[in-house]
Amino acid sequence: MKWFDYAAPTSLPEAVRLLAERPQARLLAGGTDLIVQMRAGRKETDLVIDVKRIPELNVLHWDPGSGLTLGAAVPCHRIYEDRAVRAHLPSLAEVAGIIGGTQIQGRASVGGNLCNASPSADTAPLLIALGARCRIASAASTREVAVEDFCVAPGRNALASGEMLVSIHIPAPPPHSGAQYLRFIPRNEMDIAVAGAGVAVSLDRGEFRSARVALAAVAPAPLFVREAGDYLAGKPVSAELIAEAAELAKAAARPITDMRGTARYRRHLCGVLTRRALEAAVAAAQGGR
């Protein structure tokens, strides 16, 4: 591994100042991706900025009116151990619990998972389905970006030079709503998804008030399938309509063939996983969760 300087700022202004001075610096939250990539020579830097001590990046706060604010450095174990998250966003708690093993979950963060911008990231499809937004800061300004626009290509995100992800905001789900993320993995919980589907639905007297669908591992970036959710909105809940929305998600997929599966197999999985995820989300919404 190449030598590098190390800084551990304790405030956001200090961190963005360092980034402005040395825009090629790498940010470290949990380090479960960055350290591996640097050891393998896939990434290099002259400065690593450890952001774990910055208060804004460690916020985990639920507000009944506005929803959840999740700091970019909050480790997964804090998410699935949080009572408010388990009560109001159980699907997020479930996703935080499937990222790697227990040791990884002690360090890995949802913010880091997003910034790594892997097409197979497990957190991204669910965050997209939940309508989450990213708060981004630089020395000059702050801005917000929808999660579906944050990952732009394999290993590339929407952060400009000198910018950093501060937090993720998930709006409070309306009454009678549900969400679910499902993935297919060939071996065990620490494997990479062959395909994944995240959905969120809101119901109103037997009809879909709204729905959002997103896919993992079947496009160069996590894929928001807007047309699948729009197709369901305003229609009665039925197995036939859910199956048709799943077919729309299947048609939107742009998978490749690699060592984990063929493009044809991945496309088939998109339909199956989307249908099952929608069925689970509807059941949760009907149960008042």
What is the pLDDT averaged over residues 123-129? 98
Q: What percent of the chain has pLDDT over 90?
A: 89
Contact 30, 110 (CB under 8 A): no
Contact 216, 195 (CB under 8 A): yes
Tell me 147's DSSP state. G
Q: Is the pLDDT of residue 210 over 60?
A: yes
Output the six-digit token pair for 265: 């197999």
What is the fold of 5-50?
3.30.43
Q: Is the pLDDT of residue 187 over 80?
A: no
Pick from 96, 126, 101: which is nearest to 112 by CA?
A: 96
CATH class of 177-286: alpha beta
Task: Specify the CATH number for 55-170; select among 3.30.465.10, 3.40.228.10, 3.40.720.10, 3.90.1150.10.
Answer: 3.30.465.10
The C-alpha atoms of residue 268 and residue 259 are separated, in whole angstroms, by 17
Q: Is the pLDDT of residue 54 over 60?
A: yes
The C-alpha atoms of residue 254 and residue 206 are separated, in whole angstroms, by 33
| Rg (the chain; Cα; Å) | 19
- DSSP, collapsed to helix, strand or coil, labels residue 120 as coil
Cα 93 to its chain centre, rounded Å, is: 12
The C-alpha atoms of residue 85 and residue 32 are separated, in whole angstroms, by 23
Pick from 95, 69, 68: which is nearest to 197 by CA?
A: 95
Domain ranges of the chain: 5-50, 55-170, 177-286
Q: Is the dihedral angle over the CA atoms 125, 126, 132, 137 positive or is it negative?
A: negative
245-263 pLDDT, tens per residue? Answer: 999 999 999 999 998 899 9
Q: Is the pLDDT of residue 236 over 90?
A: yes
Its pTM surpasses 0.85: yes
Using a 10 angstrom Cβ sphere, with 0-12 exposed, 13-18 middle and 19 or more buried, the burial of residue 17 is: middle
